[in-house]
Amino acid sequence: MPNVKLAFERYMDFVKIQRRESMLKWCLELPSCVLGPDTSIASNKLFRDTMPTSEIRKQGIAIPLVLKTIINPQLRTMVSIRKHLRLIKRDFTSTTTRFFDNNFDILIDGDTSDSQVREDAQQKYEDICSELKFFDNNYPEAFTPDIIMKVSKLFDWLYSNKQFSIANNLLHKICPNYDIFFKFNQYSKMIEVFDKFGKPDDLFQFCEVFKYDKIPNIWRKVDRLGNDESVTQLIKLSDVRLFEEAKLLLDNLLQDASPNGLKYFTFRVCSSLYKKFDSNSKNQLYDYLLHLSEPLKKFFPPSLISQLVATYSSDAKHDLDSQYLFLESFMKMHYNPDDINENSYQYKLISSLPKDSSPILKFKLWFDYCYNDEKLRYDRDIRPIIYLRNNKLHFVPRYFEKVLGFDTVKLNTVFSILIYTHSKYEPGSSLGQTFYQLKKKLLLPISGADKIGYLRSLTSCKKYSKAFNFLQQCLKENPEFETDETLNPILIVLAKNKDWSQLESIYNDRYEHNEVISKDQYITLFIALSIRPGTNKIIMELWENYLKRGFEPNDQILSSIILCFINNKSYEESLQWFTAYSHYNVDLTSKSYGLMLYALAGMKNTESIFRVLDELTKKSVRLPKNIFSPVFVQLAEMGDYKSIETILATYYPQFNLSVERDDTRWIMKSHYHANRFTLIIKDYMGMGEHEILYKDSLMALESAIKYSDVKTFEQVWTKAYAIHNLRGDLDIKAYIHYMAYWVRKYGAFGIEMKLNEIKLQLNCQTFPTILFNQMIFSCLRTHRPWLTKKVVRIALMHNVVPSPKTYSLILQSNVCMPWVARNSIDETVTILEEFLVNRKEDKFGKLNDDINPMSLKLVLKAVIKYQDVYEARRLFEIYVESSRDNLLDNLHILNIELMLLGEEERWVEFDGCYDRYMTLLFKLIEKARFRDKELNKRFDNDEFSRLDVHRDVYLRSRYDEYKIRNYKGTNAKIPNWIKKAHSDLWIYRLKQLEVAERLGEVNEIMKSLIAKGLVFDNKNLNETALFLSQRPEVLEEAASFIDRFILPHHIKERQFKLMRLRYTTDELPGIRKKSTYSFDREIYFEVMKNLSDTLNHRLTPEQRAELLNSISNSPNKYILKNMEQILKERRHIRSSYLQTKKLRTVFYRGIRSRMKAETKRKKKNMNMWRLKDSMDYKGRMQTLKKEMDYIIWKTHELTSGDGDDKHTRRIRQASKEVLELQREKHVVRGRMNELRREKNRQLKEIIEKDAAGRRGRSFKVGRLDLNQL
């Protein structure tokens, strides 16, 4: 279809070129035509001498030059000149093309003689008169658009062919309805026709019809009518400079017997005089006009009244009310409540008021004389409101309600109008919400239209959460709040807040039962459904119904469908939908171009992205900044910072976009996704406090938490906390990374205490799910999967609903370590199956996201290892069937499929899938390693440094791309998911090569893959060596492989280890760190044994000894030189290893015992802290102990006498006090015992409450209780 459209457009261009060529040919041949048959040779010679033909041709169609060349007076009187130059005696500079378009047939095919043209004109005039007889000039509304267009075109044709008399007759035929048939660009033509064949009354009738419209300066257009006395006086009046000169003329022109048109035009001239008079004359004219009679004031044009108002308002005595009364005196003369339209006098007057006039004055005039109490409905337009919006009268200043002086009823209507106008016609403006809140504050009644306007305003300002709460409140107060007026904002609010159940209910009520709905409601539903991924099927059904209703697609419909496919990650299908734009003749907008770039970025096709941007710059299309955000997201995930910098440097200036910190931050995000964390931390720590924004700190914290050493995070956190805690912008986003750090350093100890501190500090009631997801991820990174259950339990205690990401991390935790995976494989399969089978869904599709494909791959690997491949295949097929996203080009999904095919030994299917997988992987590697030649040509560091924001801290440092492009080890700085994508498939690839009898090509294949940027880990090399060593037929290839890919690195690693032992240090100057490749101990001995067995099987002992002796003197096959000695020492090494393992077990057993005791002590301290918070046990017990000590001291003091007689009486007297103290001591001791019992009781309650909470609080997926983990 696009090809057909293109061919048609080219054909139309060709037709236009043919027409233009014929016109140009006619113009260029005109001089010879003019001076050909009727002129003498001398005349022709005179013409050639005056202006050569070549010069005329150079001037194109500037035919008036021909007239200048004819300087002989006799030639100008010739009949042939009049005959042939009749059609071109006009201004060619502005109307030449239109003139030729209107007269093409006459110029090429017809006869251009006077008689023939006049006959054609008369015939056309008679034809139009025969049609006009069916219409009555007294009923102008009866004229149809067809007759109006015919009359207008006929007048233009008559004027262009100089048939002024017939044109004058046509004007008289439709008089006085000129305003219906003609537009402003035809006014001058009408005046010229009146001037040639009309009367002064025709001219005055013209002025009366267009009394309030802008018209040309008549006195500069008239020639013949300029001799009329009235017109002469008008011309004189327009040239006066003082009021004394104008007064007599005004008195003559404004007599009662003067035509109305003359009076209208006289006051137009007064309006122009008012502008050019000096202050004295202006004041005299002002007084003169105000003292005219009331009937004459009716002829004042709005432009004159606006100047009178300006003079009146300049007097400080005249306040707003006085100005309003002054204007009202003119408004009442013309006010007709039954005739209010865009041409009404009151509209003209308000529009003509000076810009510095009070907006309240304009609004008050509009409200009293334009607004006729129409009902405010959002599903239709109201003419007075349209005028209010177009003239910006709804932008009233603060406290306008006090200045207006309206009563409660009028003020209520005013607020409703303002809420309506701002919410409907000012998207993104919050003034509608402001007026709504002000109306509530003034205790004015809130109408249904006000609530609708408030909801629409919240939606347009993207305050979806607040809009959702308000919507629920309105539905609770009025269940019938959902109407045609409110349907559109309701759908958007429900979609943005993901209330799909209520949205499904509305869909079933309105759309499924074929209820008649409007095109706007269809568009809104398309937009709402495009927000949610996985709605492809329902949107296609809606699309079919939309076309059946006969609606034409527009950009909003098509862009919503494309966005739906993009959200579903069906990027190729989304690009195919762009052909619908050309099929339905819909213009591409900046939004649709942005979706195109988004889809190309999802496909990782940067070359096409740059081509599209080049085309857009050529077409001068302007793209806003938000278009590039999804593109930058996809590029950053690949670590492709060069493409981002190229867009910022090359295309931002061409789209007139400024590069800001939020744009350059994408460069650092690309470094983050490419594991280049050191660069981010270095830049952040080097920033000054004034340069750091909160987003910068969040990215630095997210990068620092990736380090194994927590000291880096502590340094970044100290700096970020000091800056943002002082600013007051620290929120839960920063504490997400802090809690991940806490779990990494302290495990599960003190998590609840820290969460309570965060609640108090941030005053938050709930925590986001991502907070606990990051804590679980920290458990996985520190190889402590047993902490996952504790974190999940704490999350459930805080009423956090687990997300699909949470389940993915739980599954990943269950298989992250071999012994954990082996013991919990049944539980893992149960969790996965329950999630896949019992996923929540509705009419629109799956509600929640899919399990992370990476987590699924790890789980299925464990299932293959500890159960069987058939169970893994069954789970994988369930996942594919229940998946919401498109899985065709997902690397992790293809990886799983390849593993299953390898385990099932379906090598033919494996080969095809492997080729597809490697094609996608090599594209990603090419981008990640910056080997894209097209991109390298576009990228220019010097050009980027010329940006006006080069002082940005994110642009100070440059990264060494050589390591990224050429480094072959496992430490290559490319994204981890790309680096490890091929690791699990290599062993299956070896088996497939063996079946294909290509195992001898392994060395060359691996060399080719490494050259293309693929990274092999140590496990791949070891399993390859073992695999080859087990095949006697590839002994030579096995030895060559080991010598080439493993042994050099292995020797370096052993040398480095030996030097570390010798010098007792980990840092050796000038020595690189140990290699990433080396032989695993067990595989090393196994490979040597396999090689020895192969030699024993293939050679006799004598041949074997001779071969090994020859190898020992050869520079190749190092792996076989010391094979005999290694095999002899293997038994000793094995026994030493077992003894070391036994000692290690005893050593770590003691460590575990101490760790258990430490854990028990920490748990006891935690319970005591909780008791302190609940009953202050420690403080109360301390008080009782002090009281007991005082009683014991007092008793001791009373009973410590020396036995003398003089103390006996004192002791007897104190005996009663001692008994009383003993009783008090007994009471205090009882209180202490009671406090201890209370402590033990509360401690028991805490423990039981925790256990009950773990038992009672649960979150189920199907039949599975998460608390049972």
Q: Which residues pair with 846 in a beta bridge?
A: 841
Give the model confidence (pLDDT) of 1181-1202 as tens digits.
677 777 777 777 777 776 655 4
Q: How far apart are CA 1214 and CA 1192, in angstroms?
A: 14
* Residue 1001: CA count within 13 A, CB half-sphere: 12
Tell me the two tokens of residue 147. Answer: 């007759």
* From 511-515, 666-670, 1104-1108, 1203-1207, the region with the lowest mean pLDDT: 1203-1207
User: Chain centroid to CA 577: how far?
Assistant: 20
**How many residues in the chain?**
1269
Q: How far apart are CA 522 and CA 70, in angstroms?
A: 68
**Can you give the pLDDT at residue 1255?**
54
Mean pLDDT rounded to a whole number for the chain:
78
Helix H or strand E encompassing 846: strand 845-846
Mean pLDDT throughout 634-641? 86
Mean pLDDT throughout 823-842? 85
- Yes or no: say if 530 and 564 are a contact pair by the CB < 8 Å rule: yes
**Can you give the pLDDT at residue 909?**
92
- Yes or no: say if 804 and 851 are a contact pair by the CB < 8 Å rule: yes
Long-range contact list for 726-735, CB < 8 A, 24+ apart? Answer: 727/694, 729/694, 730/762, 731/762, 732/758, 732/762, 732/764, 732/767, 732/768, 732/771, 733/698, 734/697, 734/698, 734/701, 735/762, 735/771
User: Residue 727 phi/psi, 5° resolution?
Assistant: -75, -25
Q: How far apart are CA 1061 and CA 1063, in angstroms?
A: 6
Q: 3-state class of 870 per DSSP?
A: helix
How many angstroms separate the most distant Cα atoms in the chain? 174
| Neighbour-count burial for 117-142, b at 16+ CB within 10 Å, e otherwise | beebbeebbeebeeebeeeeeeeeee
Mean pLDDT throughout 665-690? 87
In which band, very low, low, confident or very high, does the pLDDT at 1251 lie, cut at 50, 70 and 90?
A: low
**Can you give the pLDDT at residue 300?**
87
**Can you give the pLDDT at residue 516?**
60
**Can you give the pLDDT at residue 949?**
47
Handedness of CA 1198, 1203, 1204, 1205 (dihedral sign): positive
**Model confidence at 94: pLDDT above 80:** no
Peptide bond into 479 cis (omega under 30): no
User: Residue 870 phi/psi, 5° resolution?
Assistant: -65, -40
- Yes or no: say if 704 and 681 are a contact pair by the CB < 8 Å rule: yes
**Can you give the pLDDT at residue 958?**
63
Question: Count of H helices and E strands in the chain?
Answer: 70, 4
Q: How far apart are CA 222 and CA 100, in angstroms?
A: 27
**Model confidence at 1159: pLDDT above 50:** yes
**Model confidence at 448: pLDDT above 90:** no
**Model confidence at 281: pLDDT above 50:** yes
**Can you give the pLDDT at residue 60?**
37
**Can you give the pLDDT at residue 92?**
38
**Model confidence at 627: pLDDT above 70:** yes
Q: How far apart are CA 433 and CA 459, in angstroms?
A: 11
**Model confidence at 96: pLDDT above 60:** no
**Can you give the pLDDT at residue 631?**
92
Closest C-alpha to 921, from 890, 899, 949: 890
Mean pLDDT throughout 320-341? 80
**Cα three-residue angle 763-765-766, rounded to 5 degrees:** 125
Which residue bears the tokens 């209703």? 549
Radius of gyration of the chain measured on its C-alpha atoms: 46
Q: How far apart are CA 130 and CA 1027, in angstroms?
A: 101
* From 400-414, 762-776, 860-874, 1153-1167, the region with the lowest mean pLDDT: 1153-1167
**Model confidence at 145: pLDDT above 90:** no
Tell me the two tokens of residue 1268. Answer: 């049972």
Tell me the two tokens of residue 776. Answer: 């679980």
Q: What is the percent of the chain with per-residue pLDDT over 90, rounded to a whole number?
A: 13
**Model confidence at 63: pLDDT above 50:** no
- Yes or no: say if 438 and 469 are a contact pair by the CB < 8 Å rule: no
**Can you give the pLDDT at residue 31?**
43
Mean pLDDT throughout 94-108? 46
Closest C-alpha to 378, from 467, 443, 309, 453: 453
Mean pLDDT throughout 762-773? 90
* Residue 812: CA count within 13 A, CB half-sphere: 21
Give the model confidence (pLDDT) of 730-763 as tens digits.
899 999 999 999 999 888 888 888 999 999 888 8
Task: For the chain, give every domain's residue range.
Answer: 2-179, 588-673+933-967, 1126-1172, 1177-1265
* From 191-205, 559-573, 1125-1139, the region with the lowest mean pLDDT: 1125-1139
Q: 3-state class of 277 per DSSP?
A: coil
Q: Report which residue type is found at 735.
A: Y
**Can you give the pLDDT at residue 47?**
39
In which band, very low, low, confident or very high, does the pLDDT at 58 lie, cut at 50, 70 and 90?
A: very low
Any idea what DSSP says for residue 551? P
- Yes or no: say if 634 and 602 are a contact pair by the CB < 8 Å rule: yes
Give the number of other CB atoms < 10 A from CB of residue 922. 15
Q: How far apart are CA 696 and CA 291, in angstroms?
A: 72
Q: Are strands 1260-1261 and 1264-1265 parallel, antiparallel or unpaired?
A: antiparallel
Tell me the two tokens of residue 382. Answer: 């109201």
**Model confidence at 517: pLDDT above 80:** no
**Can you give the pLDDT at residue 738?**
93
Q: What is the percent of the chain with per-residue pLDDT over 70, rounded to a whole number?
A: 78
Closest C-alpha to 668, from 709, 710, 701: 701
Q: Which residues fall within 8 angstroms of residue 274, CB to CB, at 6 or more apart?
A: 282, 285, 286, 304, 307
Which is higher by pLDDT, 1115 or 619?
Answer: 619
**Model confidence at 869: pLDDT above 80:** yes
**Model confidence at 805: pLDDT above 70:** yes
User: Residue 996 phi/psi, 5° resolution?
Assistant: -80, 5
* From 95-109, 461-475, 623-637, 1133-1147, the region with the lowest mean pLDDT: 95-109
**Model confidence at 57: pLDDT above 90:** no
Q: How far apart are CA 172 and CA 193, in angstroms?
A: 11
* From 91-105, 138-152, 867-881, the region with the lowest mean pLDDT: 91-105
Q: How far apart are CA 1036 and CA 467, in angstroms?
A: 74
Q: What is the pTM of this model?
A: 0.70
